[in-house]
Amino acid sequence: MHFGRAADALHIAQPVLSRQIRAFEDELHVQLFVRDKRGTALTPAGEQLRTDAPVLLTESEAVCRRVRRAAAGNRAFAVGFMPGLIVTGPARALRSRHPDLRIEVVRTGWDDQVQALHDGRIDVSYLRLPVDQRGLTLRPLLREPRLVVFPSAHRLAGKETVRIADLADEHLLQNPDAVPEWRDIATEAHAPGAWPVHTVEEKLELVAAGQGIVVLPESTVTFYRRPDVRSAAIEDIGPNRVALAWVAARLDPLIEEFAALALAEHASTGQMSPE
């Protein structure tokens, strides 16, 4: 919101930046900024561009990455997955159909599972919802219960199920937006951006140390089972939903083929989401 500082950050002269913006506005046939004595502000069109542009820029970088990889003769297909989810079956099946194709698997986290699709690190991914679905194609895969994880000496240890109200006084070691049912009844104050813990391993270490609780999908809890923590199903909140996702603009036959294999595998095991 300051043309001089923006020009300095771009290492160009301010008049050059102003001309480039005017040329961009002419190309779009809209006004992006309002500049007066009070300062600089975005117009509604500018606000919309600021919302959409990051995804477009990221996807353009992804295209460049894939083009360079293809030019180098590096034929690969990358599958992303969240902790606790297993992609071995469809990945192996795709590899058997295309022996010359290198299959890569990439572990993602809550913070980058969508970004990794947009920036081209992965071609298709198993996502844990909810996520920002803009620019993506999603296919529901499965649902699974959510469990609360607490220290082995916790007051709830020994219970197989709890209610979300039982956790109102607990300290949650993750962003409350990930567990809105807890957020709406919690007694502790929580401020945005106050959760520097990202990985499941970090969260479980803090749980074991008695610093709080986490709410995780059942498969994640099972995968990271350890003797110093306990878990219980939360009986009155909805399940975690898992979907297969890829960038909607990509028309890659390999993506459609992998999606068919993944959907068929989960249908055969009875794990398919009813959605």
List the chain domain ranges: 3-42, 60-144+240-268, 146-234
Fold for 146-234, please state it.
D-Maltodextrin-Binding Protein; domain 2 (3.40.190)
How do the pLDDT tens digits run along the chain, 275 residues long?
888 899 999 999 999 999 999 999 999 999 999 988 788 899 999 999 998 888 777 777 777 776 776 676 667 899 999 989 999 999 999 999 999 898 999 999 888 899 999 988 999 999 999 899 988 999 999 999 999 999 999 999 999 999 999 999 999 998 888 898 998 999 887 654 556 667 899 999 999 999 999 999 999 999 999 999 999 999 999 999 999 999 998 889 999 999 999 999 988 765 555 45
* Single-letter residue type at 109: G
Q: How does DSSP assign the chain, residue by residue?
A: --HHHHHHHHTS-HHHHHHHHHHHHHHHTS--EEEETTEEEE-HHHHHHHHHHHHHHHHHHHHHHHHHHHHTT--EEEEEE-TT---HHHHHHHHHH-TTPEEEEEE--TTTTTHHHHTTS-SEEEEESS---TTEEEEEEEEE-EEEEEETTSTTTT-SEE-GGGGTTSPBSS-GGGSHHHHTT--S---TT-----SHHHHHHHHHTTS-BEEEEHHHHHHT--TTEEEEEETTSPPEEEEEEEETT---HHHHHHHHHHHHHHHHTT-B---
* Sign of the alpha-carbon torsion through 218, 224, 225, 230: negative
Using alpha carbons, list the distances in angstroms from residue 115 to 64, 78, 180, 215, 247: 16, 14, 22, 23, 10
Domain 3-42 and domain 146-234 have a common topology = no
Question: Considering the domain 3-42, what is its CATH architecture?
Answer: Orthogonal Bundle (1.10)
Class of the CATH-defined domain 60-144+240-268: alpha beta
Can you name the residues that pair with 148 across neighbouring β-strands? 215, 232
Residue 74, pLDDT score: 66
